[in-house]
Structure 1
Amino acid sequence: MKGLRIWPMVIAAALAGLLALPASAQSTFRFGDVNGDGRINIRDAMKALRIMVQLDEPISIDQFRAADVSPRVGADGSPGDGTVGVSDVIALLSYVVGLIPASDFFPPPVSIVVDPTQATVNAGLTRQFYAMVPGSYDTRVTWSVDGGSGNGTITPAGLYTAPKSGTIPRIVTIRAASVADPSKVAAATVTIAPPATIAIDPTAITVEAASITQFTASVANDLGAGVHWQVVSGGGVITSSGLYQAPLQPGAAVVQASSVADPTQVAQAQVTIVQPALQLSDFGDANQDGKRDSADVTIVRRLAAGIIPAPPVGSKQFRAIDVWPPNLETGQIGDGQITNEDAQWILRRILNLITDNDFVPVVVKVDPPTTTINAGANQAHVLSTGEGRFTAITINDRRDPNDPNKLQGVDWFVNGIKGGNSTVGTIQDGVYLPPDVPPSDPITITAVSKADQRRSATAKVNVNKAIVLHILPRAVQVGPGAQVPFTAQMEHATPAAMAEGVTWILQGPKNSDPSTWGTLTPTGPLTAMYVAPASVTKTINVDIKVVAKADGKQSQSGNARVILNKKHDQGGGGSY
């Protein structure tokens, strides 16, 4: 209601159009003092109004930010939101007429915040640090490492590289100092850990075609980052937990485990794939004559009673007879002993009281069991990061009748919808693409066996909000040759989306020569360095955009502006 009480004043002043005094290039603009006369009064509110409705153009970035007073603490900690609008005019008028006190109008004192404040980094690896400068238009900071380069290095954009040598482990300190007020400093401590190492078990193994093998990896000094599994050659599939299913054809394969903390650290296993000893028709064929009949039941009963000697445990004949119980969790057939239950189970199959799908059931496994992904994530992100990509393992699966070199596999469902839809997201070949808006209902991915639709496995998906981007600094005024580091901030982003980073876009005035815009070079997943051209013949505005690689949507891009001023001192610049 307070805003409504001052609107008559705004309208009257706008109609008069006489309250905004002209400002000169020599005026000193401070927060709220939009006309630069050293005071904050109704004339400043009217000047902000004229800028808002584009009757006036700000003569400098300082005047623009003097008018951008709402909110007093923006999303990045600096005053304003990068625009001059109704909320700024209302805030100025409210302060002028005494509706809000100075403590609710002026920004808080300048401070600096570093994120993270503590980190552990393997020797020779990197970690990105970020700094915010609440209360200041100038969000630039100067980074440094206590003790010099022997304790590591850090770029102007905050990318720290740990040293490869020296005492390890040890703790070093990095600092960020505000360019606007160098007395404002924040620090972070970094523990330098030994390099990560990895080992795989087993390192060599012979397996039957289509069989399942569990590989394990032990990683030292991985800082909890985990292991990335992949099949380097030879075929087959492997889950994120190291469960490997061999291909149908005999041959050789290589399974690799790599450290997520340091992808250069890898370990490999050699896999020899041989023809399976048993086919589906072999189970229950005790006398190995190519068919199941009463003779097989008699043999199994005599074996169970100890009348005739049992074949060696693990032999083809033993495995063909040991058919009870089938484990619907692991897919294992039998329990390592021959009993009357085995004979009874074979008899039930001979009498067609059960089917092959009961006799030797298909078991489906889906990995990972749960994942989180941002709304709107694209296929390139899923394929490159694995976030939203599911793997189905089908134990005891049947061959594809249309292609005997393949297993039948699974059909994929999202919340019970085959292939999903635009509301819940879509899935094809295990690649889940979320909708642009987080669904109201929880998301369940289901893999259903094509050979036996009774057999399935599920996984859960948490769909985060779509990524929101900001750029710091929001605007900067520079002269020829100036260098300005920019940082992209990502809201709601998953760790994988953060690690994948952003795409930087530099755009100058329409129909202008791109060589007059300067250059913008990425320096990290979320950082870039802008370098102004060596020569600036006239003042121009150059826009910087960032687009999250995870979704590629320019409609959700972050924006910043570089004002190239030929009169500005080389290498300097006021930022916002």
Structure 2
Amino acid sequence: MKTLTKLIVPLLLGVLAACGDEPTPGSGPVTVAPKSVTVKAGDSTTFTASVEGTSEPKILWSVEGQDSGTITSTGVYTAPAQAGSYTVVATNAVDGTKKDTASVTVTPAVVVTLTPASPTVSTAGSIAFTAQVTGASDTSVTWSLKEGAAAGTLTAAGVYTASSTPGTYTVVATSVADPSRSASTQVKVEAVAVTVKPNGSTVDQGAVVEFSAVVTGASNTGVTWSVEGGGTITSSGIYTAPTQAGPVTVTATSLADPTKKGSATLTVRELAVTITPASQTIPASGTAAFYATVTGTTASTAVTWSVEGGSTNGTITSSGVYTAPSKAGTYTVVATSVANPAKKASAQVTVGAVSVTISPATVTIAEGATTTFTAEVTGASNQAVLWSVEGGDGNGTITSSGVYTAPSKAGTFTVIATSAVNPDKKATATVTVTSASDVVVTITPASQTIPVSGTAAFYATVTGTPNTAVTWSVEGGTTHGTITSSGVYTAPSTPGTYTVVATSVADPTKTATAQVTVEPVSVTITPATVTIAQGTTATFTAAVTGTSHQAVLWSVEGGDGNGIITSSGIYTAPARPGTFTVVATSAVNPDKKATATVTVPIAQGADYTDPTGNGWKLVKNTAASSGSHLVLDLVGPPGGSGRGVDLTLLVNPVQATWAKVTPSDTEYVTNRLFELGAAPRLIKGGAQEGKLSVGVFQKGTTVPATPYTGALLSVALDVKLDPSLPAGSRIPLSVIKAHALPATGDLSTINVAVGRIVTQ
């Protein structure tokens, strides 16, 4: 407004000068009313102005100085917050030299503030408010409730007593000095509620649990604690469980409103004793260890051990080690809780009778041959036996360790094992001694060929004696291999021919042999040659012969620059063409290895894989593409239609350049579907470095919009084939921006999907 006045006033003065001395209507002197006024800070007052000689004065109002208040175009003045003296100016808009002023005295305003702000109290609770009055010598206030008696009561001193009905109420303090000035705050009245945590716990007898109470709806959040069902609780909520099981209820009562309380329940679990294991079987005079677990108490978990029936049924130590009596039977071990002797558990012990068994129970050997017997004593901790042969040494002899030697006569004889601690407990075995003259041993197969460190199974047949057992050995000792008692031969790490021997147990003079040929190690790789694209993978397998260890170590000649290969033989080609060598080395014979050749060919052309989906996308025009020349068609979403499209594409200029679809084309874009009409046509394309910008549009709206039933336009690029560019290289292609003009409406942005360009 001030700027407009500066422009209009000089113009009017110039007009007056051009017209001579005739005064302009409305250009007379200005008179302001009232000439002086007193207002409080922040209050408003209205001024009027008259111009001599006109009933329709045109006045420009202003206030002198900064921060002196504001005045509207109609003369409504609003005082600043700072007390003081200020000047209001009325200027004749027709003649800016004509003006008048008025004085304004601004006195401090009365301000009332109320504390606390927005408190919360409980129903029937009380809170004291304080009012502060500034800008007046009389600082007293009158108190009131906006909602009346339903909100509660409020004393002359500002003490508020809440209603018994929860809700939000308004406390008002009004200045006595200036009743137009007041302050208010809202009080939230809440019903008192008490919640107790934790709730639903299960604890051991004597356990200590800390409870907490949350009181809402009252400023006094204190509670008193009590308990039902047993146990004690402190004033701070520390509960101690009783020594008996059962349900317990803990209650917290509000100090602000004793009618309000909350509770939580817990369960004191039973004291229980368990013994592990629940039962055991041991021999006479044997021992067994038992373990007791006491749950459900924080007191002593100790137990006292005992045996039902007293020491004649066995004894048990304070640590639970039971010693059986010398008589067989079933006995009971008891563990009694020290904390609660009424709680106990028991376990069963079965003490077995003494018995002796011999293995083998029957055996057939040749005259003078030996065989070994073993004896097992059950029902007693003492396993010792005394060996003997019925009829004395004429029927054979046996050592204290059970080695029997047959007599030099054929027949059937009895070996006896007698318990050392219970001589009435014994067992017998039968020995059949045969004549040794007709024993024959054969080995199957007679020969085998295996790799270094490999294994082979041999089988022995013994005829001429009921005892068909043999002992196996390798001629030359363990340097020529080893063989188990069941005839499984393991070859040495040195190739060669070795001899396995089977000797008759019945007649050790009778033997048979078999030959084992151990072959040297060799490695082969499959496939031996492979051709793959850069960055792709090929899987190789290695076969190691001449050893049972098939493990190989994979590597690539020349290091990772020529590709990498995993421990399982998966090779990944490098990002360059060339011929590379994969090596498989035997893990146990590093001098044995094999190689395979990998060829990564030079790129001979390029291919494009279409994107998926039904929206906007660039797809390959297979008919128009050939070799390294790729033609891409833009297609729209099925069912759509429009009047034109534009798009900007970006390709790596080092790897490809934008081209025209056919050599005869004049633009970098070929229209496929749009009806372009007569020249000049709205089709344009331009390429710079790796960026291509193209657009095809119909003119006007008289021609129907084109349905998206096929390719809308085509663009092309040529891939740069270089000896350093391997097949399988991906050439990045992206859409910088794209727009479509729909059948109706404005040009809008579209998202165009692109596929992948890969060299072939």
TM-score, normalising length from structure 1?
0.26
Structure having the higher strand fraction is: 2
Larger Cα-atom Rg: 2
TM-score, normalising length from structure 2?
0.21
Structure having the higher helix fraction is: 1
